[in-house]
């Protein structure tokens, strides 16, 4: 079987000429609208799948992660055919929450689910979340309610619970993948092939997305020792698994979320490998039990969220967000993510009303004991787009705040025009 695409291969042929055993070249990265020359319109019509929308940047098909705040940070959503890797927080509280949001979004949209876990029965996992309200794209889920039972029964889902699938005697070719991973890959490939998500079966034109969720991948419960020792026997088992999984996803209409306890992985180089083999990597860091709980900057937040990697798919550029310090907080219905400094700035803005000039002494920093970087930060925040305030001048009345309070750019040359300031009319005005 020609696994290598040479000239005249199966790249351009339409779905009708598919030989048994070889898959037609349906990838999920297809543009909406007129296709590139040379290929007929093979594969299902991608426009009409519920719960998906094309990306504004390049027409790629996106699905919601179940968390609208995260969708915005990822450039609109999760691209079909990619892997979202979540680096778990220390006690696996918020990562399992994101996992459930993802699955609940699939149930609400009628997607097919595949839930794999080594420590919890997939049926239990599915019952632990419930929908509340919907936004334009994605829904908000209430962590305390349970999903209506009829919704679960109406939806199509496949569960992979490792203790059930592993049987003691099984003749399998010695391959350096752990037995659990081999079974999981075969299970996933079976579902994709049987239900036609890869477009290979012309009878089963699949117009749905397969959402795959794998919980705690890499933990010792999967039979992997990557969290126990630094150079174990199966040290490349996990990376091979991720590689084959990536191949499966790229050629099917599916999307995958994996939560992984990377804080337990002993060999840090492996984390770099895992990051390269995943598409989107999001790290969660919760403040429970850490000294950051008492830091006034992180007041009201439950943890930090680090967007470690965003893929560049079909593109030279990617939608990286400008803001890197993101914190999250979980109110009962809402999981919000915002710029950490926003909270701090809200308080500070009351102390330093705009329209005045301030002389900032180093001791005035509200943060630490007059640390230089904190007072510099405060000073630059107050300066906004204007030059640094260095005189104490009081005007007759304070002026309306003009900017957003966020630092957008440093002082630039357009501040001065014809020798007169354009941007800050109030500061140098001569009092009447």
Half-sphere exposure (Cβ direction) of 149: Cα atoms closer than 13 Å: 0
Report the residue from 248, 253, 260, 280 that binds another protein according to the rule CB under 8 A. Answer: 248
Pick the closer one to another protein by CB: 186 or 422. 186
Which positions ≥6 away from 179 have C-beta within 8 Å? 166, 170, 172, 223
Do 421 and 415 form a contact (C-beta atoms < 8 A)? yes
Report the residue from 93, 151, 244, 399 that binds another protein according to the rule CB under 8 A. Answer: 244
Binding of residue 1 to another protein (CB under 8 A): yes
Do 67 and 335 form a contact (C-beta atoms < 8 A)? yes
Report the residue from 174, 289, 431, 432 that binds another protein according to the rule CB under 8 A. Answer: 174
Six-digit token string for 384: 């906004």
Burial 413-422 (b: 16+ CB within 10 A, else e): eeeeeeeebe
**Quick one: which segment of 90-98, 285-293, 319-327, 390-398 binds another protein (CB under 8 A)?**
319-327
3-state secondary structure of 185: helix
Sites for another protein among residues 342-361 (CB under 8 A)? none
Report the residue from 93, 143, 313, 399 that binds another protein according to the rule CB under 8 A. Answer: 313
Pick the closer one to another protein by CB: 318 or 372. 318
Pick the closer one to another protein by CB: 50 or 176. 176
Q: Which residues face 305 on adjacent strands?
A: 284, 326
Pick the closer one to another protein by CB: 120 or 320. 320
Strand-by-strand arrangement of the 157-161 sheet: 157-161, 112-117, 210-214, 254-260, 83-87, 280-286, 303-309, 326-330, 335-339
CA–CA separation, 307 and 201 (whole Å): 37
Report the residue from 164, 173, 369, 418 that binds another protein according to the rule CB under 8 A. Answer: 173
Q: How many residues bind another protein (CB under 8 A)?
A: 56
**Quick one: which segment of 35-43, 116-124, 288-296, 393-401 binds another protein (CB under 8 A)?**
35-43
CA–CA separation, 203 and 425 (whole Å): 70
CB of 27 to another protein, least distance (A): 5
Pick the closer one to another protein by CB: 240 or 302. 240
Sites for another protein among residues 187-216 (CB under 8 A)? 189
Which positions ≥6 away from 31 have C-beta within 8 Å? 58, 59, 60
CB of 369 to another protein, least distance (A): 26
Half-sphere exposure (Cβ direction) of 222: Cα atoms closer than 13 Å: 28
Interface residues toward another protein, by CB under 8 A: 1, 3-9, 11-12, 21, 25, 27, 29-31, 36-39, 58, 173-176, 185-186, 189, 235-236, 239-240, 243-244, 246-248, 250-251, 268-269, 271-273, 276-277, 312-318, 320, 322, 324
């Amino acid at each position: 079987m020609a696994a290598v695409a040479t000239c005249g291969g199966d790249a351009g042929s339409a779905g009708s000429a598919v030989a048994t055993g070889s898959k037609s070249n349906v990838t999920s990265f297809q543009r909406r609208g007129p296709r590139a020359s040379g290929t007929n319109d093979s594969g299902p019509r991608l426009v009409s799948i519920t719960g998906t929308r094309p990306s504004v940047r390049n027409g790629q098909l996106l699905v919601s992660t179940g968390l609208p705040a995260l969708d915005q940070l990822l450039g609109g959503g999760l691209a079909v055919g990619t892997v979202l890797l979540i680096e778990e927080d220390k006690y696996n509280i918020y990562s399992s929450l994101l996992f459930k949001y993802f699955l609940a979004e699939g149930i609400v949209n009628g997607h097919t689910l595949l839930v794999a876990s080594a420590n919890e029965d997939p049926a239990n996992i599915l019952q632990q979340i419930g929908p509340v309200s919907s936004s334009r794209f994605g829904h908000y889920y209430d962590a305390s309610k349970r999903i209506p039972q009829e919704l679960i029964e109406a939806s199509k889902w496949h569960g992979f619970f490792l203790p059930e699938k592993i049987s003691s005697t099984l003749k399998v070719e010695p391959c350096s993948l752990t037995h659990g991973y081999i079974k999981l890959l075969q299970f996933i490939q079976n579902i994709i092939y049987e239900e036609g998500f890869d477009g290979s079966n012309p009878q089963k034109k699949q117009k749905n997305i397969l959402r795959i969720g794998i919980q705690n991948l890499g933990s010792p419960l999967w039979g992997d020792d990557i969290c126990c020792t630094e150079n174990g026997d199966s040290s490349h088992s996990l990376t091979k698994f991720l590689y084959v999984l990536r191949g499966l996803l790229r050629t099917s209409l599916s999307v995958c979320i994996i939560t992984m306890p990377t804080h337990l992985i002993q060999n840090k180089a492996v984390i770099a490998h895992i990051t390269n083999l995943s598409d989107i990597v999001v790290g969660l860091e919760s403040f429970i039990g850490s000294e950051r709980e008492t830091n006034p900057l992180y007041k009201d937040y439950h943890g930090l969220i680090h967007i470690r990697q965003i893929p560049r798919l079909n593109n030279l550029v990617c939608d990286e967000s400008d803001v890197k310090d993101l914190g999250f907080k979980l109110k009962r219905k809402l999981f919000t993510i915002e710029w950490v400094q926003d909270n701090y700035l809200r308080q500070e803005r009351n102390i330093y009303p705009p329209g005045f000039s301030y002389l900032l002494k180093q001791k005035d920093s509200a943060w630490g004991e007059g640390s230089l970087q904190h007072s510099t930060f405060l000073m630059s925040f107050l300066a906004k787009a204007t030059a640094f305030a260095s005189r104490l001048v009081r005007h007759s009345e304070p002026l309306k705040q003009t900017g957003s309070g966020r630092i957008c750019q440093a002082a630039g040359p357009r501040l001065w025009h014809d020798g007169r300031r354009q941007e800050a009319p109030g500061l140098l005005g001569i009092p009447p």
